[in-house]
Amino acid sequence: MRKLPRVLVVEDEPAIAELIAVNLRHNGFAPTVVFDGAAAQREVDAVLPDVILLDWMLPGESGVQLAKRWRQHERIKTVPIIMLTARTEESDKVQGLDAGADDYVTKPFSTQELLARIRAVLRRRAPEIVNDTVQVGELSLDAATYRVLHAGRELKVGPTEFKLLHYLMKHPERVHTRGALLDRIWGDHVFIEERTVDVHVKRLRESLGTAGAMIETVRGAGYRLTAQTLAAKPKTDPTPA
Ligand code: CA
């Protein structure tokens, strides 16, 4: 079963935080609520969320300061951030986006609007979480029906290998370090060793059969999924006489 997308809610007004959390839970998300920047930092250090809802006005470090800091942090910078704010000035919106927020929601907002924006940033920044189909060479994966096909033949792939394959197929021809894969696939590299990645890549290659060759080991760097294997190169028919 697919894991629920984790949403970190950084909001110091308990009533609003609770309302958001309840709505997220009812709509297939796993929210965690914290009330200030220090607690938010501890939370992202422990478990990397899939998306962060960040209130602008917080006690201590502001939401804008937090967003700026996280955008420079190698591990956190890819996590989408949606700023929550009571400010309505256009210049405030620009300041929020400049700080590295992906989107901006003005209070009061409707639950439907907030959910739509969360889904939109996830689709843009972490497409492996949202259902869709992806194709690389003769390999295709459908996240909605949980199927992997190679040259029209269905392959059996375990849940972690499926997630790993989905991510590699969404970002083909690029080298991914073990650390980056842990962050994106497992969401939290604090408690898992990098060797775990090697184990799942090995299993994934076995599940893929001949298409396993599409996953290359790049010595000293990590892994890459490529369509440019010998098997995947198009055959050229000899010109008929
Ligand atoms: Ca506030």
Residue 190 above 80 pLDDT? no
99 and 201 assigned to the same domain? no
The verdict on residue 240 lying in a domain is no
119 and 147 assigned to the same domain? no
Q: Tell me, in angstroms, the distance from the centre of ligand 1 to residue 70's CA.
A: 19
Least confident of 28-37, 143-152, 166-175, 199-208: 143-152
User: Which residues are within 8 A (CB) of 29 and not within 5 positions of it... i.e. 6 or more apart?
Assistant: 4, 5, 6, 7, 118
Least confident of 60-74, 188-202, 208-222: 188-202
For residue 95, the surrounding DSSP H or E stretch is helix 90-98
107 and 140 assigned to the same domain? no
State the pLDDT confidence band at 1, using cuts at 50, 70 and 90: very low
The verdict on residue 155 lying in a domain is yes
Residue 213 is predicted with a pLDDT of: 94
Q: Tell me, in angstroms, the distance from the centre of ligand 1 to residue 129's CA.
A: 29
Q: SS3 of 195, please?
A: helix
60 and 155 assigned to the same domain? no
Within 10 angstroms of residue 195's Cβ, the number of other Cβ atoms is 8
E-only strand ranges, the chain:
6-10, 30-34, 51-55, 81-85, 103-106, 133-136, 139-142, 147-150, 153-155, 215-218, 222-225
Tell me if 141 sits within 8 A of 166, measured CB to CB: yes
Q: Tell me, in angstroms, the distance from the centre of ligand 1 to residue 187's CA.
A: 27
Q: Tell me, in angstroms, the distance from the centre of ligand 1 to residue 72's CA.
A: 23
Rounded to the nearest 5 degrees, what angle is found at the Cα of 28, between the Cα atoms of 27 and 31?
A: 95
pLDDT digits (tens, 9 = 90+) for 20-68: 999 999 888 999 999 999 999 999 999 999 999 999 999 999 999 999 9
159 and 117 assigned to the same domain? no
The verdict on residue 239 lying in a domain is no
Report which DSSP code applies to 184: I
Q: Tell me, in angstroms, the distance from the centre of ligand 1 to residue 12's CA.
A: 5
The verdict on residue 52 lying in a domain is yes
Q: Please count the structural domains in the chain.
A: 2
42 and 151 assigned to the same domain? no
pTM: 0.56
Minimal CA–CA distance to 107: which of 129, 132, 85, 92? 85
219 and 112 assigned to the same domain? no
- End position of a domain, from candidates 125, 152, 171: 125
Q: Tell me, in angstroms, the distance from the centre of ligand 1 to residue 10's CA.
A: 9
Q: Tell me, in angstroms, the distance from the centre of ligand 1 to residue 24's CA.
A: 19
88 and 141 assigned to the same domain? no
Span 146-168, average pLDDT: 92
Span 131-150, average pLDDT: 85
110 and 209 assigned to the same domain? no
117 and 13 assigned to the same domain? yes
The range of the structural domain enclosing residue 204 comes to 133-232
The verdict on residue 241 lying in a domain is no
Q: What is the widest separation between alpha-carbon atoms in the chain?
A: 80
158 and 92 assigned to the same domain? no
Residues 146, 182, 49, 116, CA torsion sign: negative
Q: Tell me, in angstroms, the distance from the centre of ligand 1 to residue 58's CA.
A: 5
pLDDT digits (tens, 9 = 90+) for 103-128: 989 888 888 899 989 988 887 766 55
Residue 208 is predicted with a pLDDT of: 96
The verdict on residue 67 lying in a domain is yes
Q: Who has greater pLDDT, 128 or 240? A: 128
Q: Tell me, in angstroms, the distance from the centre of ligand 1 to residue 92's CA.
A: 15
| Alpha-carbon distances of 2 from 70, 91, 100, 121, 160, rounded to whole Å | 27, 40, 29, 19, 9
